[in-house]
Amino acid sequence: MQLTGPEILRRMQEKENPDIIIRPFDERCLGSNSYDLHLGDTLKVYKQAIPKGMKPALPYKGKPDAHKMEDWFESDAAHMQFLHCPEAFDIRNPQYLIDPTNPTHHQTITLKIPETGLILSPTIGYLGSTIEYTETRNLFPYIDGKSSIGRNFILNHHTAGRGDDGFCGEWTLEIRVLHPTVVYPYMRIGQIYYEQFVGKRKPYDKNKTSHYNGQFGPTPAAPVPVDKFLKDLVQKQK
């Protein structure tokens, strides 16, 4: 059962141990059954996935015709190399693969989004974060894109839109765009919903295996485990 906007507000206003904390909070961002979330001014990109000589993003100059294809390159030489050998800059090239189990593949470059905007590339994935810090207890929180964000073909999360009872922190966003797209700090990037659940609690902030509780800013992936113990279980079931 999903909470309405007024119920979200009521839960926030409980004097002792509120189920929902959102900071900063402004009632103008409260919707019928969600609260609007905003993009912070910092992005991170994985070094491994950026072709050498290419820029991961561009400061927006205020109008589209002020930008050209060569703006994506660090130098004229890099642009010429792209023209002569585009596969060297193609993210489908295996040299840019990411191994989810390898911590070195999660090393990042930090980008600041100026107030005048930053152009994102359709060829790169970006880690962003919400301005809002949230705490949720006794409820199941999850985030999704706003309709206007979707209609601009901005994806603000891939699979990590689901939170946990007990999660405390800012929300990391996995951002992709279909076209070169300008983003701004404080732009509305998504919304958070809350649902009630049934069963005994297993709070995220009390779980020793939780990776991301208390996170601030765009947080790179923890190494994805390969649970080899399942191999024995699978063999036993055959």
**What's residue 236's pLDDT?**
77
Read off the amino acid at residue 179. H
Question: Using only C-alpha atoms, what is the Rg of the chain?
Answer: 21
Read off the amino acid at residue 145. G
pLDDT band at 203 (very low <50, low <70, confident <90, very high): low
Model pTM? 0.87
Mean pLDDT calculated for residue range 211-216: 66
Does the domain at 5-49+102-237 match CATH 3.90.870.10? Answer given as no
CA 237 to centroid of chain Cα atoms: 38
Is 114 a residue whose pLDDT tops 70? yes
Question: Two tokens at 100?
Answer: 């989810």
Nearest partner of 150 among 129, 127, 176, 125, judged by Cα = 176
Is residue 217 within 8 Å of 40, Cβ to Cβ?
Answer: yes
Distance CA 42, CA 57 (A): 12
Residue 134 CA: distances (Å) to CA of 37, 137, 196, 216: 10, 10, 17, 11
**What's residue 42's pLDDT?**
97
Mean pLDDT calculated for residue range 206-228: 72
**What's residue 209's pLDDT?**
61
Determine the 3-state secondary structure of 71 from DSSP: helix
**What's residue 79's pLDDT?**
95
pLDDT digits (tens, 9 = 90+) for 58-108: 999 998 889 999 999 999 999 999 999 999 899 889 999 999 999 999 999
Task: Given the residues 132, 170, 174, 195, select the one marked as catalytic.
Answer: 174
Is 214 a residue whose pLDDT tops 70? no
Residue 94 CA: distances (Å) to CA of 3, 36, 86, 90, 98: 45, 38, 14, 9, 9
* CB within 8 Å of 141: residues ≥ 6 apart: 134, 163, 164, 165, 167, 192, 193, 194
**What's residue 187's pLDDT?**
95
Is 35 a residue whose pLDDT tops 70? yes
Is 233 a residue whose pLDDT tops 90? no
Q: Environment class of residue 140 by beta-carbon count within 10 Å: exposed (0-12), middle (13-18) or buried (19+)? A: middle
Is residue 174 part of the annotated active site? The answer reads yes
Nearest partner of 110 among 40, 158, 23, 191, judged by Cα = 40
pLDDT digits (tens, 9 = 90+) for 122-149: 999 999 999 999 999 999 999 998 889 9
Is 32 a residue whose pLDDT tops 90? yes
Is 212 a residue whose pLDDT tops 70? no
pLDDT band at 210 (very low <50, low <70, confident <90, very high): low
Is 161 a residue whose pLDDT tops 90? no
